[in-house]
């Protein structure tokens, strides 16, 4: 196979997979189910096998990726519009610990053993199963837990502390580049930012590795020199 043809097929395959991933949405990665995992593998295999097969042309690569992407997209539409299909197509969450007791039948159906269960609950900060009131195995293979009251972290309200509204920090500079949309969203402009930087003896945004603004906390800056 000529290197030029392989290069073209790799580039087309890359953009085809990128395009399909953008259409299918972020849930392909962040909330991946068993079927999502398999579909992602198949997409990669379709492109990979086609690229290194001399008899497969560029059009066949694009056609295979397009058809597979369309099938997955149709499935996503079905699960969004008809909620009754979600249990069959995406699976259902399973309660594996109820009222502090491990449900053995649920573990068997979910193909989990005790060691795997311990690993999952430890990832949620529970180092003993006795700490849990409920545990739910989600469709993406993660576990959600509800700790017993005596093991749960108390809230500020329970401790009768003053509760202030949380504010999301906004990144204004990243790798020396001002993020204009974030600056505008925060209600500021470049003149304000330049003045703030000068207060820290910084005369150009390119000197800044990272800068973020948070209401009530002000501007946090780290330069490349630090």
Q: What is the pTM of this model?
A: 0.53
Burial class (CB in 10 A: 0-12, 13-18, 19+), 150: exposed
Token pair belonging to 140: 């993406």
107 and 67 both lie in a single domain: no
In 10 A of CB 207, how many CB atoms? Answer: 16
82 and 7 both lie in a single domain: yes
DSSP three-state, residue 194:
helix
Residue 156 lies in a domain: no
pLDDT tens string 57-87 = 667 767 777 777 777 777 777 767 776 766 6
Residue 164 lies in a domain: no
pLDDT tens string 176-192 = 889 999 899 889 999 99
What range does the domain containing 199 cover?
170-223
78 and 100 both lie in a single domain: no
In 10 A of CB 216, how many CB atoms? Answer: 8
Token pair belonging to 85: 């299909």
CATH code, domain carrying 178: 3.30.240.20
- Residues with Cβ within 8 Å of residue 189, at least 6 apart in sequence: 183
What is the reported pLDDT for 22? Answer: 62
Residue 178 lies in a domain: yes
What is the CA 11 to chain-centroid distance, rounded? 25
103 and 74 both lie in a single domain: no
User: Domain boundary residue among 46, 62, 87?
Assistant: 87
Residue 176 lies in a domain: yes
Residue 106 lies in a domain: yes
Cβ pair 135, 145 in contact under 8 A: yes
Q: Tens digit of pLDDT per residue, the chain (226 long)? A: 566 766 776 676 667 666 666 665 544 444 555 566 666 667 666 666 666 666 666 677 677 777 777 777 777 777 677 767 666 666 678 888 888 888 888 888 888 888 888 888 888 888 888 888 898 888 777 888 888 888 887 777 777 777 666 677 889 998 888 999 989 988 999 999 999 999 999 999 899 988 998 887 888 998 888 7
Number of domains in the chain: 3
What is the reported pLDDT for 28? Answer: 43
Residue 82 lies in a domain: yes
* Calpha distance 95→81 (Å, rounded): 26
219: β partners: 213
Residue 158 lies in a domain: no
Residue 161 lies in a domain: no
**Which residue in 49, 56, 63, 55 sits closest to 16, CA to CA?**
63
Note every long-range contact of 11-14, with CB atoms under 8 Å and residues 24 or more positions apart, other chains counting: 12/58, 12/61, 12/62, 13/47, 13/50, 13/51, 13/61, 13/65
pLDDT tens string 150-168 = 888 777 777 777 766 667 7
């Amino acid at each position: 196979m000529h290197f030029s043809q392989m290069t073209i097929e790799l580039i087309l395959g890359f953009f085809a997979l990128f395009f399909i991933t953008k259409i299918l949405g972020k849930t392909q990665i962040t909330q991946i189910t068993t079927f999502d995992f398999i579909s992602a593998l198949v997409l990669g295999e379709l492109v990979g096998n086609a690229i290194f097969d001399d008899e497969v042309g560029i059009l066949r690569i694009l056609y295979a990726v397009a058809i597979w992407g369309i099938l997955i997209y149709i499935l996503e539409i079905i699960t969004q519009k008809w909620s009754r299909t979600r249990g069959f197509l995406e699976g259902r969450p399973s309660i594996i610990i109820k009222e502090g007791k491990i449900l053995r039948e649920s573990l068997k159906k979910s193909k989990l053993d005790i060691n795997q269960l311990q690993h999952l609950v430890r990832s949620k900060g529970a180092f003993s199963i006795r700490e849990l009131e409920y545990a739910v195995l989600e469709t993406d293979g993660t576990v959600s837990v509800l700790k017993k009251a005596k093991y749960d972290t108390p809230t500020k309200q329970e401790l009768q502390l003053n509760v202030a509204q949380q504010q999301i920090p906004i990144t204004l500079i990243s790798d020396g580049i001002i993020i204009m949309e974030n600056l505008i969203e925060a209600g500021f402009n470049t003149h304000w930012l330049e003045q703030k930087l000068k207060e820290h003896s910084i005369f150009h945004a390119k000197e800044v590795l990272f800068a973020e603004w948070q209401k009530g906390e002000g501007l946090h800056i780290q330069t490349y020199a630090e």
